[in-house]
Structure 1
Amino acid sequence: MRNVARFRYAFIAAAVGGTIAMTGCTPTVHVEPAVNAADPDCAEVMISLPDKVAGHDKRETDSQATSAWGDPSKVVLRCGVPEPGPTTDRCVGVNGVDWVIEEGKENWTLTTYGRSPATEVLINPDEVASSTVLVDLSNAVSQVPQDEKCLNARDVELPEGD
């Protein structure tokens, strides 16, 4: 009996060790999780994400409610970020999803508007087209219901003066 127990223990230890060794070879992308990454709506977004974005394959990440595409990463997504408030940044609607686009020097941050929790996408516009990324991700992020619309300055009616 002792030998059987030792054999089982050795077999289980080898199997677990082999699994750890195999997963250790997989390139995992480090992404900081968003504050509300544990929101149940983020789970709906995550299971709806496409395998490819802007022609790049999906990769494993090390944080809840995150994803990345490309090697090296060309598109990085985090669900559960705080919803953006009023802003002068550009706002676009793509396939029923409103996005606020914050243009940086190198990277752009694309954040859903009117959805709680919000989803944030980081891209380098010199490497991937924001329009392609937003089309590819719109179905997944639309799993979070929209309760507000993004307005541009031309959409706002100003009160008439006296």
Structure 2
Amino acid sequence: MSRPSRTAPRRSALTRSALGRTAVAIAHTLTAAALSGCAATVALEPAADATDPACAEVIVRLPDTVGDAPRRETDAQATGAWGDPAAVLLRCGVEPYGPTTLPCYNVNGVDWIRDDADDPTFVFTTYGRTPAVEVIVDSDAASGTSALVDLTTAVSAIPQQEICLDADDVLDSGL
């Protein structure tokens, strides 16, 4: 009768151990890939006053979705992006508007100056809040009004110091 080989079980144990380590490495890789998502980070430039503490209050309140577009990671402080490709971009800490002839709209208690010079891209900037928040909307991919409504809670973290008066407000007030 022959004696069982001691090396066979040992090889089997080593093989199982190596397979186990490989399986764990694959699982970690798949988990990291799933957590990072398929979409790349959106590259943005931070605004001049992005380090203002009020911007931090805005950023922590940003919604997970704007319209139907999911939030994406950005590479700049005090920024946000939604959609793939990104259809809505936000930057906190931009220069506040002074007097302007651009149209001003109140959306859910937040005044926005709209600059549509780059049609079909609209740039909305808060009015009467310092620092100001800029929202860029690709009108071919998203609704500007819907985006502003979805961002109201976050932007309202910065107190309003002034309100804008558009031509209709001036006419209605009798001025």
State the shift of 1:26 in Å. Answer: 5.9
1:127 aligns with 2:144: no
Give per-residue Cα distances to partners, 1:83-104, cap 9 Å, x unaligned: 0111111111011100001012
State how 1:133-152 maps to structure 2 within 5 Å.
Answer: 133-152=147-166
Q: CA, structure 1 residues 25+74, in 2 after alignment: closer, same or farther (shift >3 Å)?
A: closer
Q: Percent identity?
A: 52
- Please, what TM-score do these two structures have when normalized by structure 2? 0.74
Q: What amino acid does structure 1 have at the position aligned with 2:122?
A: W
Which entry has the higher C-alpha Rg, 1 or 2?
2
Give per-residue Cα distances to partners, 1:131-161, cap 9 Å, x unaligned: 1001000110000000000110233379x9x
Inter-partner Cα distance in structure 1 for 2:65 and 2:56: 18
Aligned partner of 2:169 among 144, 149, 155: 155
- Please, what TM-score do these two structures have when normalized by structure 1? 0.80
Inter-partner Cα distance in structure 2 for 1:96 and 1:69: 22
Give per-residue Cα distances to partners, 1:35-75, cap 9 Å, x unaligned: 00000000000000000001100000000000100011010
Structure 1 unaligned spans of 5+? 1-17
The CA RMSD measured in Å over matched residues stands at 2.2
> Partner of 1:4 in structure 2?
none
Structure 2 unaligned spans of 5+? 1-28
Aligned partner of 1:45 among 52, 58, 62: 58
